Structure 1
Amino acid sequence: MKLRTFGLVTAIGLTFSAGAYAENCLDGCPTGDNNGQTITRPIYTLKNNAKTKFADWVAYHVTQSTISGPSRHRDWKTDPDLNSANTLSPSDYKDAHAVIHTDRGHQAPIASFSNSPDWEMTNYLSNITPQASDLNEGPWARLEGAVRDYVKQGHDVYVVTGPLYESYFATLPDSSKTATIPSGYFKVIAEKQADGVHASAFIMYQDAGRSDNYCASEVTVSQVETKSGLDFMPQLSSSASYEMKHSLGGLTKQLGC
């Protein structure tokens, strides 16, 4: 079995013990349901859900060194560190775009790691969900672009994104597995500044219009916690956490709203 070394960390494969790449999460990765497998890689950490076949959340750190690389191709692959029964394969997406009008939507976006040597890991299907094309190519893409625009100004930004299952959306038309397609998505964007952590959160749904303004989907971090059942930044002090999570718009202006 091949050993891979990243800096001072050596492990077998790419599934690491907790803390091996803690820099993917700001003040701790989300906590909540303990079921499922957590995988930490150089550019993201995710928690796979064997029942839905998608990640409950994906956490990643966007910096000036990870963005602004060349255009990268989308070469979809089954996650090599997950049991094949617990995730999807490329064939499960057959006819999805034609029938239910979805893209293979990245949770950790490929453009945010186009300058990383590990960018291909964004194409593992554990980091993908069937996302409505108008959402994926419209307000969701513009919000991800706003994050990168802010990072270009010299900022380090931490993001956690994931699915919501509040209603039925669709079924993959030609999949050999039963997968629960999300009805919507959340994105929590945070930065550690001199006076503490500032964060903005957004929730968008699969019926979003391509021209929708992502700013109109901003909510509090606390609202995302209620809908997702997750606790974000669990290592943050309780007083700082309460103020940040219940305040709207910690990074509103920075994200172009």
Structure 2
Amino acid sequence: MGMLEGKCGLVVGIANDLSIATGCARAFVREGAEIAVTYQGEKARRFVEPVAQALGADPFLPLDVRSEDEIAAVFAAVAQKWGRLDFLLHSIAFCRAEDLHGGIVDCSREGFAEAMDVSVHSFLRLARAARPLMTDGGALLTVSYYGAEKVVENYNVMGPVKSALEGAVRYMAAELGAEGIRVNAISPGPLMTRAGSGIAHFDALIDAARERAPERRLVTIEDVGNMAAGLASDLSRSVTGNIAYVDAGYHVMA
């Protein structure tokens, strides 16, 4: 019997079979959960649908987190399917290429606002929609990165954005704890995902992580998924407001 047996969750952020969210979704299903999966638009659907089908995900629905109507439709479908929600994974981030690749001082006002909206405020919007369905408590999970805590070369504006996300996790944990809703972030080491490949000189970042991490290795989406499954389970019922590092120990190095 898996540690998520009898639970149902929503996974937001699968882009393809190499996504962090894919590793998490596989771990959720492996541990006995039923899941719903979303995809961002028709262009993304052809990459996400095979993953969702392999996992038996139902509902499978479009979701652009900038659309209140699509958020409402997803949670209405979840409510109709299960009448509740036990956990939610938010694994999305966005920044315009010109702002990501430029210095932080040169980031445009519009680009900064959009990165914050899609990468941070969307987590609040999803939490607000999930809250009424978490009548017996639940777990809200998001994905951060070490660049929120320390300056990582070429991470640029996404550093402050992820810092804001981690701050939101702490405040959400404090606000929702009395309702039995736990809020945590997972901070993986660098992974060769579509999002990661958008960072300039990402190969050098990967090499440095492998060389400097105490375990002398890179992590995998399966490693991240294992952490996510544990945080979504009742085994972590006293864990909230945390940033859980899955980086082979890289974050402890000076």
TM-score range, shorter chain: 0.3 to 0.5
Higher strand proportion (structure 1 or 2): 1
TM-score by length of 2: 0.33
TM-score by length of 1: 0.32
